[in-house]
Structure 1
Amino acid sequence: MTTTGDDHAAGRTGPFGPWWWPRRRSAVLDVGLALVSAAECAVEGIPFARDAGIPAAAGVVFGVLAGSVLLVRRQWPIAVVLVSIAITPAQMGFLMGIVGLYTLAASELPRRIIGALAGMSLVGTLIVTLVRVRQDMAHGDVAIGDWFVPFASITTSLGVTAPPVLLGLYVGARRRLMESLRERADSLERELQLLAERAEERAEWARNEERTRIAREMHDVVAHRVSLMVVHAAALQAVARKDPEKAVRNAALVGDMGRQALTELREMLGVLRSGEDVVGRRATVSVPLAAVGAAAAAAAAASRVAEEPADGFAEGLAEGPRLAELAELVGQSAAAGMVVDLSVEGEARSYAPQLEQTAYRVVQEALTNVHKHAAGAKAYVRLAHRVSEIAMQVENEPPPEVGSASSAGLPSGGNGLVGMKERVVALGGVFVSGPTDAGGFRVSAVIPASV
């Protein structure tokens, strides 16, 4: 099916009308044009029949049939133009020729076909006009010089052919431009929708990562402090009557551990509250935007909201524990009754806060596991400062008595090793853990120093 500029005047592309017409209004227009063209050709068929020596009724019927071809101008514009060219010598089909050329030029046909048919129509009109004017001059109807014959022929043929062709080319080019803009708008809408979906996915992923990070920090802080508090409480219960002074010291240690745990929890909760404020501000800013700009801004805002809470949380935690506090950490475990051997290799230097915090948390969680699963066992903490990396290892000997961990009443959630590995791998490091040949357990981690 060949379409014209009239087919898309309302921006509709589907067949909503009868037969090949896209709309009912288009069908009504073509039927009206066909009736007018048939009436014109019928009237012009009478002198044609008289000149041809045939009955006038035959000329009228021929004219009606020829003029009715305009009804199929949208479906077969080439046929309409060819019929108009064919009946040009009979001086019929003036309206059909103009409308047919316009429809042909506005269609999606190749330009060479349009040019060829327009040229044929131009030549046909030129020849017929030339012959007609010469006949009129020979009969004495026109008394003008010989120059008038070519002038009238050329002017008439161009006037009948050029305007509808140029108008059709303009309408066709405009329709193609509108279709291109409409396709671009639809493509942009789909891209914005996809962008918004991806932004929502990134936001959901960021929220999940944030929840995992918070859970990991809460586990490291609470598990270690509370484990030490439980160990000291057990020791306090054992020596309360035998050695009151030692019981007092253990009670003071329990209090210190509790205060430290509360302080770290308050810091994390404060960071979380500030992150919620950032999310609220971003959500409020993106509300007034409208239309396409709103979709793009919403997608960008969702991406920023997905990133900023995590960044804010990381910045808040950047003030957390450092490697310089590792000796204090080991001392706390020693105060709880664990025999710990700390050794540091290489020259100590400052690292990125996230790296130092990760290294500290790995040692902290490893010592917590020793308290939980190997109470009374000796532990070895090794820290090595190398040129391009930092390595740490926590290894414990077999516990002196099986079941001592359970007697301390320390539950295990099974997330300690997983959290340590996630921390180290996130920084591009390597984490290995497992039992030793002697029956103990070893945790090793290597993190690049360029984090």
Structure 2
Amino acid sequence: MTTTGEDHAPARGGPWWWDRRRGAVLDVSLGAVSALECAAEGVPFARDAGVPLAVGVVFGLLAGSVLVVRRKWPIAVVLVTIAVTPAEMGVLMGVVGLYTLAASELPRRIIGSLAGMSLLGNLVVTFVRLGQDSTQKALQFGDWLLPFASVTMSLGATAPPLLLGLYVGQRRRLMESLRERADSLERELQLLAERAEERAEWARSEERTRIAREMHDVVAHRVSLMVVHAAALQAVARKDPEKAVRNAALVGDMGRQALTELREMLGVLRSGGEGARAERAAVPLAAVGVAAAAAASRAVEDGEASSEGPSLSELDELVGQSAAAGMVVDLSVEGEERPYAAEVESTAFRVVQEALTNVHKHAAGAKTYVRLAHRVSEIAMQVENEPPPEVSAESSARLPSGGNGLVGMKERVSALGGVFVSGPTDAGGFRVSAVIPAS
């Protein structure tokens, strides 16, 4: 794991313009050595120039100490070096100054111009000095040897620090670029991890919503019918024992059906949870967010694939159960029946089931009309009940309502791109309508 860009920024712990104390110590040390060198070289300069030695020494100290500001003003250091080149002083200052200039962020044209001036100055001074030495010592040089020696010595004093500075500066910029790219990649990875965690949370939320809808549909409908039959059983237990036995058998059948559906649903949840835990244990920590999203999404897909849910072929049985509970239900089917996708049939069945459950809860004994229409590109369903009759003491069965049935139906239909409408009728009843695309 890389650190952030703020961690890479150098901590300014040095005085003035230095970022670090060791940089300040290095520059001051180099400045002191350069000042001593220039002071020593100022002695022969003062003799040749005919000035007092003290003037030459002070001049050398002042010129050599300029190397202290090489990081702040590298151009000034190089200009001073060029200025003192005729005095034959400042060798260390020239080498370090050119290196610092080449390694800086200054434009290449400025670096090239100053390097050319330094080379030209060294070339002229070297040529003159070699010519004077050859005259004084009566040395004989060929026509080509003196210029060649001057050029070679000038390049030797200028090219190495310049090339080294260019290399170090380029490498420094490359490292900074790589560091910035690493920081950018880390930020992108963090962003991807956050998005993966958001997707995982969304998948978990969708799974919880789906489970809540399934549990509501299974429990609410079956238990509502069981309560209705239990109330009827209590009312006719003494008057009609045979009918009481039939109602008791119906209650038992519905209870077993509810338990079977709940057991199947819990089995899907258990297997999906174990698969998700196994996958999370097999991936590294850095990929937990992505694996969580994938596992949660697969859990939803596996749950839908393992338990396709009810189909429209079970609609007659559903209506028959409500009729057995004492509800008058009129079922009508229009159009040619054909198979649909599993989620379409399951949603259509659950809408009718929940609508009949609401009739049991809020309009017990009311006549109900269930209409199903198979159209070219969609399937439509409508469940409408008449106003409920006066509730008798024999058939009263108070059924609690959480108010989530209509919300769950609308969510199911909207998830498939359909339209859901519900509300009271002018006659005092209630109507639930839904249209779902066939594909």
TM-score tier, shorter chain, comes to: over 0.9
Deviation at 1:268, TM superposition (A): 0.4
Report whether the alignment pairs 1:386 with 2:383. no
Indicate the residue corresponding to 2:210 in structure 1: 213
Report whether the alignment pairs 1:183 with 2:180. yes
2:235 touches 2:395 (CA, 8 Å); kept in 1? Answer: no
Distance 2:169 2:65 in 1: 24
**Which structure 2 residues correspond to residues 10-409 of structure 1 after superposition, within 5 A?**
13-140=10-137, 142-286=139-283, 289=284, 294-295=285-286, 297-318=287-308, 320-401=309-390, 407-409=396-398
**Which structure 2 residues correspond to residues 415-426 of structure 1 after superposition, within 5 A?**
415-426=404-415
How has the CA–CA distance of structure 1 residues 406 and 327 changed in structure 2, closer, same or farther, with 3 Å as cutoff?
A: closer
Which deviates further from its counterpart, 331-340 or 307-316? 307-316
Which deviates further from its counterpart, 241-250 or 308-317? 308-317
Partner deviation per Cα, 1:250-287 (whole Å, 9 max, x = no partner): 1111111000000000000000100110121012101x
Structure 1, unmatched stretches of 5+, are 1-9
SS state of the match for residue 408, structure 1? coil
Distance 1:194 1:24 in 2: 37
Distance 2:156 2:271 in 1: 77
Distance 1:415 1:55 in 2: 105
- Sequence identity percentage: 78
Deviation at 1:54, TM superposition (A): 0.5
- Equivalent pairs counted in the alignment come to 433
How has the CA–CA distance of structure 1 residues 405 and 100 changed in structure 2, closer, same or farther, with 3 Å as cutoff?
A: farther
Deviation at 1:137, TM superposition (A): 2.3
Which deviates further from its counterpart, 237-246 or 328-337? 237-246
Distance 2:393 2:114 in 1: 102
Deviation at 1:146, TM superposition (A): 2.2
2:235 touches 2:394 (CA, 8 Å); kept in 1? Answer: no
Indicate the residue corresponding to 1:4 in structure 2: none
Normalised by the length of structure 1, the TM-score is 0.93
Normalised by the length of structure 2, the TM-score is 0.95
Distance 2:372 2:96 in 1: 91
SS state of the match for residue 407, structure 1? coil
Structure 2, unmatched stretches of 5+, are 1-6
Distance 2:8 2:398 in 1: 75
Aligned Cα RMSD in Å? 1.7
Q: Amino acid of the residue matched to residue 289 of structure 2?
A: A
2:232 touches 2:395 (CA, 8 Å); kept in 1? Answer: no
Deviation at 1:316, TM superposition (A): 2.5
1:372 touches 1:405 (CA, 8 Å); kept in 2? Answer: no
